[in-house]
Amino acid sequence: MQTHPQPADNYEKALGLFENLSSNEPQGMNPSCRSRLLTHGKKTGKAIILVHGYTSAPPQFLELGRMFFEKGYNVLIVTLPRHGLAERMTREHGRLKAEELAAYADRTVDIASGLGSHITIMGLSMGGVITSWAAQQRKEIDLAVIISPAFGFRKIPAPLTWPAMVFYRLLPDAFEWWDPELKENGMSPWEYPKYSRHALTELLNIGFVVRDEARKAPPAAKKILLVLNPSDDMVNNDMAEEVAANWEKRGADISTFTFDASLKLPHDLISPEQVGQRTDIVYPRLLELSGK
């Protein structure tokens, strides 16, 4: 999972990279799930990469992306590998590899380098871990906003996360419903209603790479913001705070913002379709924090 930077040095090259990426998206994509570039037609002062979560797609971040666009950003939302297919019951995401996630981070930062003079990358959950990897590796990033990164899961005690990852990698893959009661009706029409155990082990794999490197070296990103949700019943916030603490020990410019527990925000605090969502509070705060 070594970085292979090839940053675009101007707007035209960034457009070329994006067009090449878009043209190589797989057959059978849901049209609403294709990668998005919201551009002002030239390189701007600021560009932002928005990285959606596992089994989700660009529509998760589209409304927030439009708000950044209105503030003058060029906005890049690229579909994660093996995501966004119209066949929601596909098993394709079970073939996801950690190396693909690292390559995804490299390519999005490459494109954004030609879209704006100041580059922000923001990601949720799996997107948060990818953002963390990019923050560790890519000096082009001015601000990394890491939201509820899935370095581990609440159901698995932190010391058992590594053994669990190894164990499930050895077993045949299994797909389980995110919502066993509502099944495919419990998700947005652009989300996969099942998760793959093997895909989750790949997510943990790239997370362990970030954790190991954070103990050894400062991140390449100039500034990092960790955003936590105490009501999150999915991810282990303690493991994210451990990464942040190790970065801080190595001189990183890093800060943490925690949403109020009384908001009872869902794990996916970005997608407007989520039950219990408070985008009226979350979006303005993320816009404010990103502008500091």
Instruction: Read off the pLDDT of residues 212-238 as tens digits, 9 standing for 90 and up.
Output: 999 999 999 999 999 999 999 999 999
Instruction: Read off the pLDDT of residues 145-179 as tens digits, 9 standing for 90 and up.
Output: 999 999 999 999 999 999 999 999 999 999 999 99
Residue 257 phi/psi, 5° resolution?
A: -120, 135
Cβ contacts of 269 within 8 Å, gap of 6 or more: 124, 147, 148, 229, 259, 277, 278, 282
Distance spanning both ends of the chain, measured CA to CA: 31
At the second CATH level, the architecture of 11-290 is: 3-Layer(aba) Sandwich (3.40)
Q: Is residue 45 within 8 Å of 83, Cβ to Cβ?
A: no
**pLDDT band at 292; cut points 50, 70, 90:** confident
Residue 157, classified by CB atoms within 10 Å of its CB into exposed (0-12), middle (13-18) or buried (19+), is exposed
Instruction: Read off the pLDDT of residues 55-88 as tens digits, 9 standing for 90 and up.
Output: 999 999 999 999 999 999 999 999 999 999 999 9
* Residue ranges covered by each domain of the chain: 11-290
